[in-house]
Structure 1
C-alpha cells in the first residue's frame, strides 16, 4: 500500500510551496479530493488544505507573505488563498458540536484525527504532508481506495443524520469511484431516504446534476430507484425512464458527445404535459434550464423525420437532446448552422404587398416553402417570394 503521495503537476507548484512556507512548518496538509485523485492518477481540479491555525491567523500569515485571501467560509473556518496557479481553500481543523441534518455547528480543533472523523467517506479523509508527501490515513481510506469501495467513516446512519445530503453524495462518489458495494452504506441510505425531503431543493438539484454529469451513472441511478431513494427526489421517474437514460448514455457514447446532466435529467422524465415544468419548479432550476426541460418534454415520434427542420423550430440544443433521447441519429446536424430566412417584411412590401396583415401572411408562406425546399439561398428565396406574390394576384 502506498505511504506517500506520488509526484503530480500540482505538487510541484511554486506558489503552493510559498503558501506552505507562509503558514509555517507543520501547519498545512493537503486533504480530500486532491489527495484522492492524485492517488488514482486522475486530473486534480481543486486543492484543499487543512490547518490547525485559526482563520484569522491564516489571513494574517498569508497577508504577511503578500498573498491575497478571501473569507469565503470563515464562519466554518475556511479561507480561500488566491494564488497565481489557482485558488486554494484552507480550512481550520474542526469537530462537530451539533448537527441537524442540514447544517453543523463546529468547533475548531488541534487534532488532525478529530478533523478526519467528521468527514463523510474514508477516501475523502486522506491527508498529505506538502513537503514529505507522507500520507495520513485515519480510517482505512487507502485500502478502500484500492478496493474502489465508498465507505462512510464510522456508523453510516450517524454520518447521514449529521448531513442528509450525504445520501446523494454517497451515490455520486459510488458512481465515480466505486466498484465493490458497501452493504452497510446502501442499507443506511435506503433507511434514511425520507430525510432528503428536509434538504433545500437547490442542494438536491446540485447533487443530482453532478451525479448525472458523470460518464455513466445509469447503474447507480437504477440502484437508487430500487432502494427507494430516487422516488423521494424524483418520483416521476420509473423503470421506463431509467431504460431511456441507459439508451441515451449509449447514444452519446456512440456519437462521441459529452455527457450533459440536463439532457440526462430530461431523459428521466416522462414526456407528459406539465411534468418538466413541475420538476423544474420543485428543484428550483434556472429559467434557462426550465425552458430546456420543457422543450425536450415535447419530443415525439416524428422528431427524426427531418432533424434540420426540428433544429430550426426548437433550436440546436433541444433538437440534439430530443434526437439523442429518442435514439435517433444526429449526424445531419453536424457542422450545420441554423439559417435565418433571407427576407424581411420590407422585402415583401417592396414586392408589392401592402403593409399590414398580408405582409406577415406572405412571410409565412415564403418561409414554409423555403423550409420545404431545404433552406435554399437568398436568390432562390427571392424567386419564391415572386412566385407567392404572383399567386396572390
Structure 2
C-alpha cells in the first residue's frame, strides 16, 4: 500500500529537510500520526520523521543546511527541526533497554522493525518512504486501521508496564478512532494495571484526560474507562450518572452544532458538588483558569430560561451556554440558547456617585446600595437607565 498524495507532501521545507537526512536513500521515513491520519483521510497535524542517523549527525546536518535544530528529547534521540512550515520532530531508531513504568532508557538502532516494536499501538507503528510513499507495516497496523481496532503491539501487559500512561492513551485512541469495541486483552491489561495511574504525574494524566474528552464522541471510551476502574484511580469520584449525562450533552452539542469542549464534558463527569469538584481539579494540577471555568459551570445547577442572561452576566457567555447545555430542561433549551445567541453583556448604567447625588451619604453604604441596585437590575433582565434610576431612588429612600 502507498500513502495517498496530500498537500503536506508538497511542502518545500519538508522536501529540503528529507533531502538533508538522506530520505531518498532510505535513511529517513515518515512515521506515526501523519501516516495514520493520512491513510484515514484526516488532515495531519504534526509531521514526524524516523531516521537511522544518530542524533549528533542529525544536528550536524541541519546546522550545515542552516536549519534550526532544537534538542527537544536528545536523550531519547529526538531533535526538532524548525522549518518555515512548522516544527518537524526527527527521532533516531531506538530499542528499549529498561523501563520503570514512567520512563525508558533507550539504545539507538538501525532496525526499523525493532523501532516499530517499541511503539504503543499497531496503528502508530506505520512508516512511509518519502520517495515512493510505500507504507511499511510490521505488526498488522493497516488491517487494524481498516477495522478501527485499537490494540497494543505484542503483549498489552508488557506495553503498559513500560509506561502506565499508555492506559490513558489507549482509551483516548479508542475515543478518537475506535468503533465501539475493545480489544479484550488490552481491556483486561488496563483494568489490571489501573491502580498504577495513581502513581503518575497528575499533569500527564490530566493532559491525556482532556485530550480524550476533546474527541468527537468519547462516550463509549468513557464508559469503558469506568468499567475498567480507570476513573477510580485518577479522580476521587465521578458523578453516578456521568455516562448518561455525557451522552445527552454530546447529543445536544451535535443538535446545535456546538464544537466539543473538554471543560464542559469534564463538568458532566464530575460530582455536582462545587467543593468536591474543586478538590478534584486541584489534585489534577489544572491551571487556575481551568479550575475557575469548572467552578463557574457548577454555580447554577437548575438554570431556567429567565436566569440564563444573569448567568452570562456574572460568569460569561460561554459558561452560560455550557450550563444551559448541561442542565437546562429539554423544553427550555431552544429558548435559552436563542437568548444567548443575540445576547451581549450590558453596561450597568449608574455609579456610586449617582447614588450620592440622590442623597446617600458617602461611605460603605454606597457600595452596598450599588450592589443592591445591580441585583435588582439583573433580576429585571437589564432594563434601561430610566428604570435603573427608579430602582436606585427606591433603594436610597429605604436606607
Mapped pair 1:129 → 2:125: no
Q: How does 1:289-304 map to 2 (within 5 A)?
A: 289-304=290-305
Q: Give the secondary-structure state (helix, strand or coil) at the position aligned to 1:90.
A: strand
Query: Distance between the aligned counterparts of 1:32 and 1:303, measured in 2?
Result: 47
CA distance in structure 2 between the partners assigned to 1:241 and 1:367 by the alignment: 36
Matches within 5 A, 1:1-393: 3-24=1-22, 25-179=25-179, 180-328=181-329, 329=333, 330-386=337-393, 388-389=395-396, 391-392=397-398
Secondary structure of the corresponding residue to residue 292 of structure 2: helix
Return the alpha-carbon distance in structure 2 between the equivalents of residues 77 and 303 of structure 1. 56
Q: What secondary structure, in the 3-state scheme, does the structure 2 residue paired with 1:374 have?
A: coil
Give the Cα separation in 2 of the matches to 1:317 and 1:212.
18
Partner Cα distance (1:98, 1:267) in 2: 40
Q: Once the two structures are superposed, what CA deviation does each residue of 1:64-117 show, in whole Å capped at 9, x if it has no partner?
A: 112111111112111111111111000111100000000000111111111101
What is the CA distance between 1:386 and its match in structure 2? 4.4
Q: CA deviation at 1:302?
A: 4.0
Contact 1:251 1:327 in 2 (8 A): no
Assess if the C-alpha contact under 8 Å between 2:303 and 2:324 holds in 1. no
Q: Partners in 2 of 1:313 and 1:64 — Cα distance?
A: 57
Partner Cα distance (1:60, 1:281) in 2: 44
Deviation of the 1:388 alpha carbon: 4.4
Q: CA deviation at 1:228?
A: 1.9
Q: Using the alignment, how far apart are the partners of 1:70 and 1:346 within structure 2?
A: 58
* In 2, Cα distance between equivalents of 1:102 and 1:28: 28
CA distance in 1, matches of 2:87, 2:206: 25
Residues 183 and 327 (structure 1), Cα distance of their counterparts in 2 relative to 1, 3 Å cut: farther
Q: 1:305 to 1:97 in 2, by over 3 A?
A: same
Give the TM-score normalised by the residue count of structure 2: 0.93
CA RMSD of aligned residues (A): 1.7
For residues 239 and 294 of structure 2, the distance between their equivalents in structure 1, rounded to whole angstroms, comes to 17
CA distance in 1 between partners of 2:340 and 2:86 (Å)? 37
Q: Moved runs in structure 1, 4+ residues, more than 6 A?
A: none
**Structure 1 stretch displaced more, 32-41 or 218-227:** 218-227
Q: After TM superposition, give the deviation of residue 303 of structure 1 in Å.
A: 4.8
Distance 1:174 1:373 in 2: 48
SS at match of 1:87: strand
Distance 2:166 2:20 in 1: 34
Query: Which stretches in structure 2 are left out of the alignment for 5+ residues?
Result: none
Alpha-carbon distance in 2 for matches of 1:189, 1:325: 30
